[in-house]
Amino acid sequence: MARVLVVGGGIAGLWTAVRAADAGHEVELVTKTELADGNTRHAQGGIAAALFPDDSAERHFADTIEAGAGLGDPAAVRVLCDEGPARVRDLIRFGVAFDHGDSGLERGLEAAHSRARILHAGGDATGAAIEHALVATVRRRAVRIHEHTMLLDLLVSSDATATTRGARVTGARLLAASGPAFEVAADVVVLATGGAGQLFAHTTNPDVATGDGVAAAWRAGAEVADLEFVQFHPTALAAPGTPLISEAVRGEGAVLRDRDGRRFMSLVDPRAELASRDVVARAVWRRSLEQDGVPVVLDATALGRAFLDRRFPGLGEACRAAGYDWAAEPVPVTPAAHYAMGGVAVDLDGRTTLPGLLAVGETARTGVHGANRLASNSLLEAAVFADRAARAIGADTRADAAGPTAPTAGAGIRRVGEPVAGSGHPTSVVDRETLRALMWEHVGLERSAAGLAAASAVLDTWQAPEPRDRRSAEDRNLLDLARLTVAAAAARTQSVGAHFRADAATDAVRPAAAATQAAHAPHRRHGSPDPVHPIADAEEAA
């Protein structure tokens, strides 16, 4: 059995910890704040899976590939869609109470889905319901939990006597809220620290989303990929904190209007408000610019107060807190950074290019999302690939005992546009708010060579602080990721999905899947998926 260190307390980290503990491994779990305070609990819309008779894994697969602008890895998408229903059944067994109606499980429709397949809990509190159930489940396991503790760096051994495969991760250097930094040794480290929404001045992410795992993995030498693919959600409330207004609201019939009260999305895309997120976000952004910065509005009044209160109680409260009654009036919305499609490059079992290091959830680049994530695939991805990663821990432990095997993760993936360390002449320590404003201005919804060059020049003048506490450690991570993201965005000169180049010759190029999958999909090992069938019984297995 292995000593396993899981870093991150969202759905991906909790799921991995539960499965690894059940397999008999010695598990420690580290989370930067309190165990239930990660990004997962903020997820509103739901979790997508082909569970109903009028749907299929094939339809879900096609929708995911299309939303990803043809750049999704078909092997990874196949795993997601085939194994997803079984993982949703597991969530029910863990105690997640998905919403039911008179005819059984309720399901919603969201943008770019060809079928209503989004399960939700508590109306608009799906993430909170999942987090609550998994926290309770992990606390019933023999898992040692370190709260208010963050990852500083990975420990990497290159001693040939330690492993016949050369360098491998052997643990992590951590920092608690009080006290000096300390080290934890592990046979396997699993990164599940989420994304890096705090790179941008406007984001739907909480303040913990500073990309700690991706930055630490890159510093340790792991491959990263697709960092230029940052998803901007089209409908964050245009109010302090930019709280998210779930895509599910548009799925239920809410519409977008300009300052004159006219719907405009049908002029942009035949799918109107239910076009893919990249399309809707850019349309909202551009219409606001045309209105001299006046936000467009989301009009949900036709849905009625009773329905809104039942289906979206949390969103109604968020609107009231900002001074709006969305049942009586349209509310102003704006795009905001929401999700990272890129991250640490992994294979289908979460293995990175560094032996001993796995990554799951938003930290990982599985290839599922391509250039643009399909709505409500994020929670599903976390569950599916965390489950596979936990199983891979046991397989890798047995393989190490039998003898060396060549790592296969990340074949065909490269660090596109990686900046050269020390290329600039830093004159000051990075200021977080200035960095976030810079990224929003030049690396936001629309990018250009000139803007990216300007951002790179400014980033070159900054140096990272010594990581003495949480704030300084996060600032170091944000600076590393800002430089990597700018370099990756500069290297990809055509527009595709969420990466829009205003100086590209064509608008939002969407290459045909057949022409691009071979070029962009790494070599991966494909295991046998779980069978797909409607939800079975939900007996307690937690």
pLDDT of residue 179: 84
Strand order in the sheet with 3-7: 143-146, 26-30, 3-7, 188-191, 357-359
What are the two backbone dihedrals, phi and then psi, of residue 331, each rounded to the nearest 5 degrees? -115, 145
Nearest to 492, CA basis, from 283, 276, 229 = 229
Q: Which one-letter amino acid corresponds to residue 374? A: L
Closest to 520 in 3D by CA, of 500, 492, 480:
492
How far apart are alpha carbons 222 and 418 in whole angstroms?
Answer: 13
> pLDDT at position 505, please?
53
Q: What is the pLDDT of residue 398?
A: 53
SS3 407: coil
Whole-number pLDDT of residue 64: 97
Which positions ≥6 away from 107 have C-beta within 8 Å? 51, 52, 116, 117, 118, 119
Q: Show which residues are catalytic.
A: 277
| 151: helix, strand or coil | strand
Tokens of residue 275, six digits: 């076009």
The reported pLDDT for the residue numbered 159 is 58
Domains of the chain: 3-229+341-402 (3.50.50.60), 232-336 (3.90.700.10), 428-491 (1.20.58.100)
Q: What is the pLDDT along the chain (542 residues), one digit of tens a residue?
A: 899 999 999 999 999 999 999 999 999 999 999 988 877 888 888 999 999 999 999 999 999 999 999 999 999 999 999 999 999 999 999 999 999 988 889 999 998 999 999 999 999 899 999 999 999 999 999 999 999 999 999 999 975 444 435 789 999 999 999 889 999 999 999 999 999 999 999 999 999 999 999 999 999 999 999 999 999 999 999 999 999 999 999 999 999 999 999 999 999 999 999 999 999 999 999 999 999 999 999 999 999 999 999 999 999 999 999 999 999 999 999 999 999 999 999 999 999 999 999 999 999 999 999 999 999 999 999 999 999 999 999 776 555 533 333 333 333 333 444 454 445 577 899 999 999 999 999 999 999 999 999 999 999 999 999 999 999 999 999 999 999 999 999 999 999 999 999 998 544 444 333 333 322 333 232 232 332 223 333 333 44
Alpha helices in 150-260 (DSSP H): 212-220, 247-251
